[in-house]
Chains A and B, each alone.
Chain A
Amino acid sequence: MRKALRAYEVRLHSNLPGILSIQPLVIAIGKEAPVLRPITPPPSTRAQGTAEIPEDESIEVALAAAGDSRAFERLYRRHVGRVHSLLRRMVGSDEADEATQDAFVRAWRAIGSFRGDSAFGTWVHRIAVNVALASRRGKITNRQRFLDDEDFLNHHPDRPDRSSERLDFEAALSTLPHGAREVLVLHDVEGFRHEEIAELLDISSGTSKSQLHRARMAIRKVLNA
């Protein structure tokens, strides 16, 4: 029988003496030699284009948790691009500014409970996803959220800009129903797994997979039109 023990690797940053980086690891103990492997990284660190977390982020977080709004503003400026881009893709350009503000206000109110076992960027990203999902609850029905078989075969989205010869990827994305767009953004852009998406959107993993496939096919169709 194998036991898994959670441990922490503590190492000194070579270029910032005195600041400890704590990285969770799993030590598996069994008949074989102990194996150390990193826990699956959180979604935002799996996504492409993720900026490296600055060394002093934990200091900024601690200051913000103590009520320093200027430290929180520095965190905001560091992360607003990714949060706003996520929200623009999930709720649309018209609502992205307000949703971004809501996400950071929620983060400010909750930062005292931020435990630091994930990066601040990952944590605020999760808050932004919840803001996006909350913003569309009650607005639309499931029938409007996802692509069903008939929609998929006959998907003829409105072209946001008929004057352009070729829609770019973002515009093609905006033509998808909310649910299908959310699945694609969370999986292909943000790096969430189907199990995580299923939990967030209150759907099955199978639905997440089928919606992802249909969303990709629909975008391909729009881009090739």
Chain B
Amino acid sequence: MTDAFTELLSEYLDEELSPAERARVERHLQACVSCRDSLEGLRQVIGRAKVLPVDVPPNDLWPGIAARIVGPR
């Protein structure tokens, strides 16, 4: 389920709401189980996005680059 407050949850987590909006969302969260659930889910998505690994490509791409950068710029 979503409601009008669900739309504000990302901005709440990103600390982009005004103090008044933030207080409204916090009051709503105390009463709405669904929004608390959504908030926790969003928090997990953000947390996982921040720690995505950096992977070196399986193929060595340098030979293809070297072939294209030969000669004057």
User: Hey, which bits of chain A sit against chain B, CB under 8 A?
Assistant: 47-49, 51, 67, 69, 72-73, 76-77, 80-82, 84-85, 88-89, 96-97, 100-101, 104-105, 108-109, 112, 153, 169-170, 184, 188-189, 194, 209-210, 212-213, 216-217, 219-220, 223-224
Contact = CB atoms under 8 A, between A and B. Distances in A.
Contacts of B44: 220, 223
Contacts, number: 99
Contact of A101 (B7, B49, B64): B64
A223 B45 contact: yes
A76 B57 contact: no
B45 to A, nearest CB: 5
- Specify the main secondary structure of chain B where it touches its partner: helix
Interface residues of B, number: 33
Contact of A105 (B46, B49, B68): B68
Contact of A209 (B16, B38, B54, B73): B16
Interface in B32-73: 38, 41-42, 44-46, 48-57, 59, 61-62, 64-66, 68-70, 73
B41 A220 contact: yes
A97 B55 CA distance: 12
A85 B42 contact: no
B73 to A, nearest CB: 5
